[in-house]
Structure 1
Amino acid sequence: MIPLRPLDVGDVLGGTFAAFGRHWKPLVGVAAVVHAAALLLVGGAAALAFWGNVDTFDALERADRNGTAVASHVTSLAVSFGLVAVLGAVCLLFATATTQAASAVALQEAVLGRPTTFRAVWRRAVRRVPAVAGALLLPALAAAVLTVLLMIGYVGLMMAVVEDVGGDAANWLAAVGLLGGLLLVPVVVWLWVRFAFAPAVAVFESAGAMQALRRSARLVRGSWWRIFGISLLVYAMAWMASWLIQIPFSLLGMFSLVPSMAVAPDTGEEMSLVQMVLAVGGYVLIVLVGSFVSQIVVIFFPQLATGLLYVDQRIRREHLAPALAEAAYGPPPPPRH
């Protein structure tokens, strides 16, 4: 799939397309399963939180009409939906870890020229999810701190400038949040590149989370700017492709609403419930399909490209090419049970 020599940008891009073209079925299957499971779990938790706080919502509505505040009810809602948010973050972490592990598994087989199946990718990926999730935790925490700071700064800015409330406290919130966030951006980007190879190391080398982080830092050292530039290019291409993919689905979804507009407003006719459900349901379904297809590009192309950069660094520094050739042309390893 790739030349057994140091890779240039064209080799990385071509190898990414080739790897996805060979193994897109198991990759899409893994993504569909883990994200559907995460969506059902978080959606169920949110429904339970809403159902369990129906009386609280009613009490808050009555308090709002009477002009009285009920702090205990606000606290109850904050705790309930805060737990849902935490569950969502955990599910997102493990869904991301699973797709990262699946990408590395598929890439390893693609580099060696071996076919693979959904079952094989799933079994190997699931075994490496804890290590990959641990390796993703540090960059994720840094990104979360950055997001919180920027949100605090935004809220403070809106309070001070738009609403003109809060006084000096709002100004301090805006200053600390925005300045702290801007200062933290380079640190987050540096960590993102420094530990970019950790998921691939966790799968290719069966390493633990901390070992994968240290190994990634060693491989990136001295090539930070090259890896950053290629990664940024791949992410930009993936987001552009995702946007272009969504356009025809959005147009098709708009056309699906045309039958519901056939009822002339001056005739006094009303759209039936069946027509409304079919029109809106068709539009939502088409848009969701387009969003899923576009997200597949955003999820897997950068991960496969990062995995190829990991292979490239090992070819450059550790002379991995002879070992790859031997593994590719030798007998495949026995399956793990």
Structure 2
Amino acid sequence: MTQDAGWGGGAQGGGPPGGYGPYGGGGPPYGGGTPPPYGGQPPYGGSPPPYGSGPPPDWGGWSRPRGPKPGVIPLSPLTLGEILSGAFQTLGRHWQQVLGIAVAVYGTALLVSVGAVAVAYAAVGDRLSAVVDTPDDSTPAWADLRPLVIAFVCLWIVVTAAMLLATSMMQACCPVIVQEAVLGRPVRVGPTLLRALSRVAAVAGTVFLSGLIALVPVLLFIAGVVSTIVTVIALGAWDPAGWLIPLGFLGALILTPLAIWLWVQFSLAPAVVVVESRGPVDALRRSAELVRGSWWRICGISLLAFVIASVAGLVLQQLLNVLGMFPSAFGFGSEEFRHEPTTSEIFITASGYLIVVLVSQLVSQIFSTTFPQLVLNLLYIDQRIRTEDLAPALISAASTAPTAPAAPPGGP
């Protein structure tokens, strides 16, 4: 069986065992084999890195030569156009696998959400009927409303947790997809899901920690202002709301750049977790090391990727939501709805519209989650090429890896 060249932690010392594939933390993908041959150092006798941080070589007035391109990007330092093109090509070449993985992940989350709704309805359905059937000239009893409020809160927690886990799973899948796409290897749904599943807990922890750290300055300032307001009012000294509340918003606004800076510092951590098999805290440190010296570039490209994904996702969502603007699609144009609709008829119509909304949100969520992550993973590879001379290891891995089948004529 062909062995792949490994590339783990690069010049920083490599990640712990457990990764696999051409740039995992543990060498060959299927066990056994020799250790990674490069270890982040030049493989050809100690010559200086061609893409390192030293002064650029003189190419005689010509631009720097590009590396080979076995997959979606050339194996050399990437430009903005190559990063965005690589992300779009990954989606174009492997859209079936990406869509299949996204449908499996978000479909599972949707089934969990629907199951939670069914359980909640079975538990408090009679209370809901009592509230709905309350006469217009009276208010529902609190004894009927309280179970509905509790059920809604529990339902919100379950649905939010399911969607957060689904998003973390997609963030764990994207590095695996990019890894194969960069080397021109076929992307298979089963192995991708299995590998991502083994790292999803660490990815979720990384995302939680990075978000918490980024928001801590703002949250602490707001908490301090609120505590001051409550304390002063309780002491009865004076009414501070006139100037402390605007001061709180101003302080949060001033601290927002710090939160953005921290977010960019940790933006490559999910890729580190999957590719190098590192834990959440170690991945945050590693991401900060890779971002050092390229903060503005990574921030700009990441922001552009999120804008592109948001606009495209919004357009897709609105196109699908148009279906919900036609009442005849769910029966309001038929003869039986010419009279005042009953509760069951309203429920059927609302259910149909809700299905359209959920599908449109799912499609929008798939693209808005996947595309920025593909860009961030390509930025991770680009930073390692620039700072750790990863290109020779990638070239060697691509030359020994099985290639993906050629695209059909006229396809992506």
TM-score for the superposition, normalised by structure 2: 0.63
Distance in 2, Cα, partners of 1:198 & 1:24:
25
Distance (Å, rounded) in 2 between the aligned partners of 1:40 and 1:286: 15
Q: Deviations over 1:155-195 (max 9, x none)?
A: 9xxxxxxxxxxx94765784465244323422221121101
More helix, by proportion: 1
Q: Shift in Å at residue 222 of structure 1?
A: 0.7
Q: Does the 8 Å contact 2:215/2:259 carry over to 1?
A: no
Alignment match, 1:27: 98
Contact kept, 8 Å, 1:152 with 1:174, in 2: the verdict is no
Distance 1:124 1:46, change over 3 A: same
Cα distance change of structure 1 residues 244 and 301 upon mapping to structure 2, 3 Å threshold = same
Q: Is 1:212 equivalent to 2:295 in the alignment?
A: no
- Measured after TM superposition, the shift of residue 255 of structure 1 is 3.5
Query: Hey, what does 1:330 align to over in structure 2?
Result: 400
Distance 1:212 1:126 in 2: 17
In structure 2, what is the equivalent of residue 313 of structure 1? Answer: 383
After superposition, the C-alpha distances for 1:190-214 in whole angstroms (9 at most, x for unaligned) are 1211011111111111222122111
User: 1: distance between equivalents of 2:289 and 2:331?
Assistant: 60
Q: CA deviation at 1:146?
A: 8.0
Unmatched 5+ stretches in structure 1: 156-166, 333-337
Change (3 A) 1:51 1:315: same
Confirm or deny: 8 A CA contact 1:29 1:118 kept in the other structure: yes
Paired residues for 1:6-155 under 5 Å: 6-42=77-113, 44-45=115-116, 85-142=156-213
Distance 2:322 2:155 in 1: 34
Alpha-carbon distance in 2 for matches of 1:240, 1:173: 37
| 8 Å contact kept, 2:165–2:204 | yes
Kept after mapping to 2: 8 A contact 1:227/1:309: yes
Out of 366, 371, 394, which is 1:301 matched to? 371
Separation in 2, partners of 1:2, 1:54: 55
Matched-pair identity in %: 44
Distance 1:79 1:278 in 2: 25
The yes-or-no answer on 1:224 pairing with 2:295 is yes
Cα deviation digits, residues 46-97 of structure 1 (max 9, x gap): 66567667899999x9xxx89x999xx97x9888766655555543432222
**Quick one: which of 240, 259, 262 aligns to 2:311?**
240
Separation in 2 of the partners of 1:286 and 1:85? 20
Change (3 A) 1:90 1:269: closer
How far apart, CA to CA, are the structure 2 residues paired with 1:242 and 1:228? 21
Contact 1:49 1:80 in 2 (8 A): yes
1:252 aligns with 2:323: yes
Cα RMSD, aligned residues only: 4.2
Which residue identity is paired with 1:121? T
SS at match of 1:257: helix
- Deviation of 1:43 (Å): 5.4
Computing the radius of gyration over CA atoms, which structure comes out larger, 1 or 2?
Answer: 2
Letter in 2 for 1:242: G
- Equivalent residue for 1:335? none
Greater displacement, 100-109 / 137-146? 137-146
1:284, CA displacement in angstroms?
A: 3.6
The number of aligned residues is 311
Q: 1:22 to 1:313 in 2, by over 3 A?
A: same
Change (3 A) 1:86 1:150: farther
Tell me, in whole angstroms, the C-alpha distance in 2 between the residues paired with 1:84 and 1:302: 29
